[in-house]
Structure 1
Amino acid sequence: MKIPRQVKVTIFAITILSLSTFGLYLFLLRLGYLPPFSAIVCLNNCPATSNLHTPQQGNELLNYNQPIAQIIAPANIDKTKTSILIEKSKYRLTLYHNQQPIKSYPVVFGKNPVADKLREGDFSTPEGIFTIKDLYNHPNWSKFLWLDYPNQTSWQKHFQSKIGGKIKWSDSIGSEVGIHGVPAGGDNLIDNRSNWTWGCISLKNQDVDEIYQIVQEGTKVEIIP
């Protein structure tokens, strides 16, 4: 059956419009103005998340002066059982193995360390449960453990904040949040609890180097107030 020319033109126009719309969506997604499809379905009703870790009591740093190799034999470390808890109020990152805390490290945060991250440029460190999606050497901060911010829960908080008037509708959610070291000679930033990042978690280079050896893509990172 021959398809009429007018129908062909209509199909062509619809195809071009669909591609243009999808291209616009990808553009806005890349800029952080729209969520991925996987997050759209639960913007108003994302599943509740429960805490992964039981925090230590007190403010001390567990086993900080001991190398990991002296705490747990390298042969006994299973990276699939490693996870991280970050407590913003205690400036503490604790490494867990098989749900047991094994070592803590001092850390600092974004320039606005108390608030949860809601948008790009608020200088806050996000709270919630994240996953390391990549890890690599960094030219300025030793190592970078890249977190999957924004995830579904992040997008839910972002849009709820827009609806509630906490942030502008023109605000982007932001991205590129991770765990990394400090500039060369910058250990004093950690010692003095100087919150210097745009929202990332920062620790001494020798510490991030050690953590880097026993985590992997897929490692869970829980960040709490």
Structure 2
Amino acid sequence: KYRINERNPNSGYHKNLGVSYPNETDKAYAEQHGKSPGGLIKIHGMKNGWGFIGKKHLQKDWTNGCIAVTDEEVDELYRSVKHNAEIEILP
């Protein structure tokens, strides 16, 4: 479980919402496995100028760990999700 802890209307990927990853459990797990937990996880739209791709972006994993949605979907999330809202990310 994480929180939406940031908003960026001027992102290089349409808009984005920041996710409070990694939490303490994630950091401990990564350390236990000798890995970096990573960070800067965002829910974002398409790279600016590429919104026409729409749902075709789902055909390839291109985000390097982020959660990509269409520009329209991130617009809806941006309007609907309150700051610090709790979210759950499942595999």
Settle same-fold status: TM greater than 0.5. yes
Shift of 1:131: 0.6
Residue 204 (structure 1) aligned to one of 38, 45, 70: 70
Provide the alpha-carbon RMSD of the alignment: 1.5
TM-score by length of 1: 0.36
Cα distance, 1:160 vs structure 2: 1.8
Answer whether contact 1:135 1:216 (CA < 8 A) is retained.
no
Q: 1:209 to 1:173 in 2, by over 3 A?
A: same
Alignment of 1:3-18 (within 5 A): none
Q: Does the residue aligned with 1:133 lie in a helix, a strand or coil?
A: strand
1:148 corresponds, among 20, 33, 54, to: 20
| Residue segments in structure 1 that go unaligned for 5+ positions in a row | 1-128
Give the C-alpha shift of residue 136 in structure 1.
Answer: 1.8
Work out the CA distance in 1 between the residues paired with 2:42 and 2:63: 10
Indicate the SS of the match to 2:25. helix
Closer/same/farther in 2, CA of residues 140 and 186 from structure 1, 3 Å limit: farther
Partner Cα separation in structure 1 for residue 46 and residue 19 of structure 2: 17
SS across alignment from 2:89: strand
Ranges in structure 2 where 5+ consecutive residues have no aligned partner: none
Deviation at 1:143, TM superposition (A): 1.1
Q: Percent identity?
A: 30
> Does the CA contact (< 8 Å) of 1:178 and 1:201 recur in 2?
yes
Q: If the length of structure 2 is used for normalisation, what is the TM-score?
A: 0.84
The answer to whether the aligner puts 1:214 opposite 2:80 as a matched pair is: yes
Of structures 1 and 2, the one with the larger relative CO (CA 8 A, separation 6+) is 2
